Structure 1
Amino acid sequence: MVAVFNKDVLSWYLITIKLREAVDAKLQRSTPPPRDLPLRLTNGDASPPLQRQPATARSRAQSPAHSPKPQDSEWVVAIRGKLAQARSEAAALPWARLSVYRVPKCLRDGDERAYTPQAVSIGPLHRGRRRLREMDRHKWRALHQVLKRTGHDVTAYLGAAQALEDRARACYEGRAAGMGSNDLAECLVLDGTFVLELFRGALDGGKGFVDDLGYSRHDPVFAMRGAMHAVRNDMILLENQLPLFVLDLLLGIQLGNPEQTGAVAALAVRFFDPLMPTDAPLRREDRSRLESSVGAEATAAFDPLRGPMLHCLDVFRRSLLRASVQPTPPPPPPVRLWPRKWSVPRRVADKRRQQFVHCVSELREAGIRCRRHNTDRFWDIKFDKGVLHIPRILVHDGSKLLFLNLIAFEQCHMDIATPGGNNITSYAIFMDNLINSAEDVKYLHDRGIIEHWLGSDAEVADLFNRLCQEVVFDINDSYLSGLSDQVNRYYDHKWSTWVASLQHTYFSNPWAIVSVVAAVFLLLLTMTQTFYSAYSYYRPPH
């Protein structure tokens, strides 16, 4: 029994040794050897070191490209395609050349008509709309008149437009990307010629249509009749624009100087002059420069801010801000307007701390008055010694769409390189804060600051209150931020409120003044009588 038992143990021992050798051999094949030490056999004998593989060979052997990879699903392939498209789009930077934008839905809610043409479409974004097709026949008449007057063939204009196709297409957001080459060229030539005919004929009060361009005095469009008002309003809309370089080229071909630039900007400023919201929209010297710059030899023109311009709305915006010196924030106010003992905590609530200033009614309670600032620069607002000097502004039936489209342009074209990138928005928000009710409008109207042709003061208040409802705006990035800080500092001091209350209660009209003077006189007499009575009591006469 002992021998058999020892034999069985020996058998199991030999089997265990073989299994261990097999496991060790497999581990040696799967585990890479150390870089600096030779491999050793399991029985303890040293073996010659293995030769190291080159780094390139190891990396090639371990590279994912040479390793088997499972086939991507259709979903993953579709996602990879979208990522490749996004990568190419990001490299091309298509938005860097945009200038004619679709107005965002957040801005146009409730004011669709303010951004949509009602009489004529200019450019591809509203081309082909059913209610605007009636004006197309007048566009073809304008093109025919140009070819007849100049003796040119239409291919000269179509070829020039096709040469600018890629550059013009990149200016539009949306629909122009899907237009064919021929359709886009036809749109640029047809609409561009129509715009130029309107610009050139509007000089000298519309006499140019008959005397210079050859239209009939009874023309339904080119005779400065009622339709011109609706057409002008449509041509100022953000979505209804043509790139200025297209108009410059078309006008240059007509004048025999395709390289000219600037004349269209001069014509645009003159054409949109009636929409200016100021007392003196165009100064006499500017008007003479405009008229002298448009002609057969025009090589330079009146440029309000002397910089590259995008389209007619951009030209109009720059002409609004024309000045030798651009709007800049006022100098910082003094640290303390009144002694510290009169200072009180800010009276504005949290929801109003994002406003520029308080409304007119609240400012009047704090002793701040408004006066008319005699200047044609409607944005030039000043504050001095409790008086807010505001230039006069004219409000008419086209003011709403005018300001809405200017604000939309500043919101969309955030990289405006010219000074005053958001000055129109700053002014609109300032006036929105200043006007809360019809009483505020009435006060400003009585001071000669607001002149309006609307039905009531309430309509004017509603107009300003609706201009900037969904506008993204940083108060610190405004040329009026320093002025607003001055006004609010003055507003926050109790002394000014007391003085204003005294004036409002006792000096509001001549009869109140007479009453106060009489009361003061009687008070002085009473005090004098009391003094002499007391004096005679303590020092009786001898």
Structure 2
Amino acid sequence: MVAVFNKELLSWYLITLKLRETVESGVAATPSSVKSIEFPDQPQHVQKQQQEPSESLQIVVRNDNENDEEGLKSPESEWVISIKEKLEQAWQDDVAGSWTNLCIYRIPHYLREGDDKAYCPQIVSLGPYHHGKRRLRQMDRHKWRSLQHILKRNNQDIKLYLDAIKELEERARGCYEGSITLSSNEFVEMMVLDGCFILELFQGAAGGFKHLGYSRNDPIFAMRGSMHSIQRDMIMLENQLPLFILDRLLGLQLGEPNQTGLVAKLALQFFDPLMPTDEPLTKSGRNRLESSIGYRKTFDPLSEQDGLHCLEVFRRSLLRRGPQPEPRVWIKRWSHGNRVVDKRRQQLIHCVTELREAGVKFKKRKTDRFWDIKFSNGILEIPRLLIHDGTKSLFLNLIALEQCHLDCSNDITSYVVFMDNLINSSEDVGYLHYCGIIEHWLGSDAEVADLFNRLCQEVVYDINDSYLSRLSAEVNRYYNHKWNAWRASLRHNYFSNPWAIISFFAAVILLLLTFAQSFYGIYSYYYPSH
């Protein structure tokens, strides 16, 4: 009995030492480590008593593990994990070449404030940005009608179109800014449906909708008044489809899948009514345009390599009617390529009223290139510009394209800023209208002045990178020459009408006679006749 009692004391003593070592060292003891402290000749009741502390020890160890897991799941750890996930997504977005195809942009918020209607379609949505909007769904049934007409007319299966666009899906997605939430099937369906609708409008405007099998009373596929609103929606930057998608769809219809260039020609004819000139592109004009394709390859609106979408093709056609604007190489010697644009220096030229007071004359230049402005011998020649209800939206979307797309020049922006500088009031608009330079269908001259004053309100623009910089410098030198202002004042005060001219010459003759009389009076006084 004594021996057993001593063994029990020895067991409890060893267990106590083990527990003490575990607590002090902070190392969790396992059940196996406790069970290893036992004697072979121990009674069962002693072994049972020995197991109880080991089980309590297991509970303590399990609680420590749970605390560790809670520490790993703390709010700070979740925050770090979320940051790492965002960095991983940023790295994926920044993979080399991920922006290569980008050409269809969302309008920046600083541009669209106050003019949201000029950038958002009102009748028809094309592409993913406005896809599925409730107020634009009414046009979907007409899109399906156009697709049905195409398949029936060409005796084709829809799978042919779906498979062809499926091959281009990844490239097409890369043309749009930001992530597109549509699934693969939804995206391909949208491209086919919207693309075929566009092509039906293009071909109908070129050869007649009746030829395509539509009724003359068709609510959409007929040359009705609503066609102008559809054209205005289709030229918006956020409402574009990649040109290679349209080329592939038209090629499938014609049996030439690899054809290019024809869609661009059809687009120019379809959007010709939106041209900001009152001289429409006639058949002979189109022939001259197509025959002069080789003039400057980098400025060719019909180039299969450079065409991005219909808005970009339309912009090139605006600038392509004739020679390219004067190159700006001369100004590069005085500027820095990476210079930050200064918003305080966007004044190219004085307004019409001030220039007239300095002797500058205004004259309408006979050309359909509205941007082609000339200045010589105090005469500023500006081509005629036609302003209608769609001009504001057109210019705003062209400016937005030049602001967003790196490979675009700023020629349209340069022209609009130049005209904004010229026009400060309704009087300036009235005088340009009197000269035949501005023709508008708006309510008043004040509305035209307000239009130009708002077009470039938030535009970031470098005056040193404008094709009109040299011309503006020449006009400003003429303006600053005092003799020109004096001569203009003389002309305005004394030669403005026939009666003023007669009065002026009568005053000069009277002055000469008075001078002669005084001379002879003085002469006869000093040299009296004998």
Interval of TM-score (by shorter of Structure 1 and Structure 2) = 0.7 to 0.9
Counterpart AA for 1:432: D
Q: Which residue is equivalent to 1:231?
A: 230
Q: Which residue is equivalent to 1:408?
A: 400
Q: Which residue is equivalent to 1:318?
A: 316
Q: Which residue is equivalent to 1:165?
A: 169
Task: Indicate if the aligned counterparts of 1:101 and 1:412 stay in contact, CA closer than 8 A.
Answer: yes
- Which deviates further from its counterpart, 317-326 or 358-367? 317-326
Give 2:361's match in structure 1, choosing from 362, 369, 384.
369
Name stretches of at least 5 consecutive residues in structure 2 with no aligned partner: 1-70, 292-298, 332-341
Q: Structure 1 residues 144 and 359 mapped into 2: Cα distance closer, same or farther (>3 Å)? A: same
CA distance in 1, matches of 2:80, 2:169: 36
Give 2:80's match in structure 1, choosing from 76, 79, 85.
76
CA distance in 2, matches of 1:311, 1:201: 19
Give 2:423's match in structure 1, choosing from 422, 435, 449.
435
2:212 paired with 1:220: no
Task: State the number of aligned residues.
Answer: 440
Matches within 5 A, 1:357-506: 357-416=349-408, 421-506=409-494
Q: Structure 1 residues 309 and 288 mapped into 2: Cα distance closer, same or farther (>3 Å)? A: same
Q: Structure 1 residues 471 and 143 mapped into 2: Cα distance closer, same or farther (>3 Å)? A: same
CA distance in 2, matches of 1:353, 1:415: 23
Sequence identity percentage: 66
Q: Provide the alpha-carbon RMSD of the alignment.
A: 2.3
CA distance in 1, matches of 2:496, 2:327: 34
Q: CA deviation at 1:283?
A: 5.3
Give 1:105's match in structure 2, choosing from 93, 109, 126.
109
Q: Structure 1 residues 279 and 190 mapped into 2: Cα distance closer, same or farther (>3 Å)? A: same
Q: CA deviation at 1:281?
A: 3.9
Task: Indicate if the aligned counterparts of 1:329 and 1:483 stay in contact, CA closer than 8 A.
Answer: no
SS at match of 2:94: helix
Show CA shifts across 1:199-238 (max 9, x none): 001025xxx101x201101111111112211111100000
CA distance in 2, matches of 1:219, 1:289: 34
Q: Structure 1 residues 353 and 137 mapped into 2: Cα distance closer, same or farther (>3 Å)? A: closer
Give 1:304's match in structure 2, choosing from 298, 301, 306.
301
CA distance in 1, matches of 2:398, 2:176: 17
Task: Indicate if the aligned counterparts of 1:262 and 1:303 stay in contact, CA closer than 8 A.
Answer: no
CA distance in 1, matches of 2:346, 2:286: 40
Q: Which residue is equivalent to 1:534?
A: 522
Q: CA deviation at 1:284?
A: 4.4
Q: Which residue is equivalent to 1:193?
A: 196
Q: Which residue is equivalent to 2:152?
A: 148
Q: Which residue is equivalent to 1:183?
A: 186
Q: CA deviation at 1:86?
A: 1.8
Q: CA deviation at 1:253?
A: 0.3
SS at match of 2:209: helix
Counterpart AA for 1:271: F
Q: CA deviation at 1:287?
A: 2.1
SS at match of 2:117: helix
CA distance in 1, matches of 2:390, 2:347: 26
CA distance in 1, matches of 2:215, 2:450: 42
CA distance in 1, matches of 2:428, 2:146: 47
Q: CA deviation at 1:513?
A: 1.2
Q: Which residue is equivalent to 2:27?
A: none
Task: Indicate if the aligned counterparts of 1:280 and 1:376 stay in contact, CA closer than 8 A.
Answer: yes
SS at match of 1:94: coil
Q: Which residue is equivalent to 1:339?
A: none
Q: Structure 1 residues 101 and 332 mapped into 2: Cα distance closer, same or farther (>3 Å)? A: closer
Name stretches of at least 5 consecutive residues in structure 1 with no aligned partner: 1-69, 293-301, 334-349
Show CA shifts across 1:366-395 (max 9, x none): 111111111111110111111111111000
Task: Indicate if the aligned counterparts of 1:329 and 1:482 stay in contact, CA closer than 8 A.
Answer: no
CA distance in 1, matches of 2:90, 2:142: 42
SS at match of 2:354: helix
**TM-score scaled by length of structure 1:** 0.78
Task: Indicate if the aligned counterparts of 2:362 and 2:379 stay in contact, CA closer than 8 A.
Answer: yes
Q: CA deviation at 1:91?
A: 2.0
CA distance in 1, matches of 2:320, 2:449: 27
Q: CA deviation at 1:324?
A: 4.5
Matches within 5 A, 1:344-355: 353-355=345-347
Q: CA deviation at 1:500?
A: 1.3
Q: Which residue is equivalent to 2:95?
A: 91
Q: Which residue is equivalent to 2:502?
A: 514
